[in-house]
Structure 1
Amino acid sequence: MADPCPFCEILEHGAPATIVAEWREAIAITPLNPVTDAHILVIPRKHVDDATVDPILTGIVMKYAAEVADAVSPANIITSIGAEATQTVFHLHVHVVPRRHGDGLHLPWTGQKVVST
């Protein structure tokens, strides 16, 4: 049996979370381990494994992420698709990561060279 989805646990069963915004289709929460001040996750209320499963819902979630990012910009808006792309929770979620000059946060590909396959 698969492990329970932590985001569904929040949405369906009231597992603890700091909810910072709500919409009909999604919520925004503070992640357990934010990487910068005001780091937010935007999560659809409907379980979909990643951004490829329901492109229309993904667009709606991305719209909300853009609204959140506008309030804290500059920011990165990031989602991952698959374990190889660093996805660790298999429920679509979009990170809004506020950035500041010299914040010390490096994206996974910062400073790396392209490896041809």
Structure 2
Amino acid sequence: MNDILRRAVRLSLFTMSALLMAWALYPEGRTVAAGLLLGICGSLVNAFLLRRRVEMIARSALEGGKRTSLGLASRLAVILLAVMACYRFPEYFSLPATLAACFYVQFAVFFFAAVHNRNVRNGKG
């Protein structure tokens, strides 16, 4: 799982660097590039929050502790913060671009997990 998330984070960082270059080179597309950057940052934070929460749940299950939730409120708050920044500063950030990029890491993890499972198939199923 950590390898899949590491690959998704690396892809996100490469994409963010390309978006930063696009922001610097194309002034007419700065709001879209900045919105995509903000959305990918929120998506990265959500991925790390979810990873930490899953580790906490696994540790709690092994120790026989109390049941915990997946922390949906904190992850929604991160996206809400990004959307509020776009709403407050529409001259700097594109709201549709931010909302579209808020799911970037999750789709990257899904893609890398599908590729990993296809390559690791060991004759079962």
Q: TM-score, normalised by structure 2?
A: 0.34
Higher relative contact order (CA 8 A, sep 6+): 2
Q: TM-score, normalised by structure 1?
A: 0.36
The answer to which structure has the higher strand fraction is 1
Between Structure 1 and Structure 2, whose CA radius of gyration is higher?
Answer: 2
